[in-house]
């Protein structure tokens, strides 16, 4: 007769597999893009602490480090290093869900680009548009259809208050955010009778590596005090859970958004020029 220990040893792998399958069947599932750091990482943390298993993605190897940190919450976390500017990256990310129903999609991936439009490399301009708009829409189209078919799901799209104003020296980025802000409201109303909510998170300048990657550290925007990404993510996540249509984070950003609605576009463009002009943040 085999010992009790040997019986347990033989059964353990099967029990663990069954437990994993049961947990995945019970726990909700969230996909978060741009999750290696900043707002995206904090959104992923919000999901995990609320009991969501995660599939996180970013275009840099740091996504694996983020996954290690998020696994401390006890949730299952898969990480994928993909570039959403590439259709193959979107395909790979969608495929990595392995048909598991997505309960929450945080479409947070984004790319900035400073300096004058005519001085920028057009390949960099294309990457901004392909990441912020084309790749994001592709992923939303795929997962959004699945949510609509199941008649349940929550979508959080990271727009920006930058979408409220012409972005002198940041023209393409602001234009992509204006697109996302507008698109979010339109999609929300298309899905309002389908059990799927769409929330637009519209932060202001946030303490992330955005300004370094966008080559804007020497601007007034790059030098000014910025918001805490954890707080921005928390406000966005809570708004999504409530089913709100939008959330502008922080009282100063709410004030800026309100003022921009009644300020002529020409004046907004000039104000943005002063804030985003290269070298404008360096004291002389």
- How far apart CA 247 and CA 181 sit, in angstroms, is 11
Whether residue 109 contacts residue 137, with contact meaning beta carbons closer than 8 Å, is answered with no
Strand locations in the chain (E): 29-33, 53-58, 77-81, 104-107, 153-158, 196-202, 246-248
Q: How many helices (H) and strands (E) does the chain have?
A: 12, 7
Distance CA 198, CA 144 (A): 10
- Assess contact for 59 and 83: CB atoms under 8 A: yes
Helix (H, G, I), strand (E, B) or coil at 207: coil
DSSP annotation of 121 reads -
- Distance in angstroms (rounded) separating the CA atoms of residues 88 and 82: 8
Q: Which residues are catalytic?
A: 173
């Amino acid at each position: 007769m085999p010992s009790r220990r040997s019986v347990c040893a033989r059964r353990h792998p099967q029990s663990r597999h069954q437990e994993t399958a049961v947990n995945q069947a019970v726990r909700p599932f969230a996909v978060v893009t741009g999750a290696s750091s900043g707002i995206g990482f904090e959104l992923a943390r919000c999901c995990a602490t609320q009991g969501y298993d995660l599939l996180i993605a970013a275009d840099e190897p740091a996504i694996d480090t983020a996954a290690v940190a998020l696994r401390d919450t006890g949730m299952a976390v898969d990480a994928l290093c993909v570039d959403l500017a590439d259709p193959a990256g979107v395909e790979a990310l969608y495929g990595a869900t392995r048909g598991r129903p997505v309960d929450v999609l945080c479409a947070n991936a984004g790319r900035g680009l400073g300096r004058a439009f005519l001085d920028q490399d057009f390949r960099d301009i294309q990457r901004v548009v392909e990441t912020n708009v084309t790749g994001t829409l592709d992923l939303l189209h795929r997962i959004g259809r699945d949510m609509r078919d199941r008649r349940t799901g929550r979508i959080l799209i990271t727009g920006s208050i930058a979408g409220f104003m012409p972005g002198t020296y940041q023209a393409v980025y602001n234009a992509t955010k204006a697109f996302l802000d507008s698109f979010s409201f339109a999609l929300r109303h298309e899905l309002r009778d389908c059990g799927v909510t769409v929330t637009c998170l519209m932060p202001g300048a946030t303490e992330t590596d955005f300004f370094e990657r966008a080559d804007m550290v020497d601007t007034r925007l790059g030098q000014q005090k910025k918001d805490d990404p954890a707080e921005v993510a928390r406000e966005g996540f809570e708004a999504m859970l409530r089913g709100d249509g939008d959330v502008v984070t922080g009282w100063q950003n709410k004030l800026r958004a309100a003022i921009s609605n009644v300020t002529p576009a020409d004046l907004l463009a000039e104000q943005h020029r002063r804030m985003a002009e290269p070298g404008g943040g360096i004291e002389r």
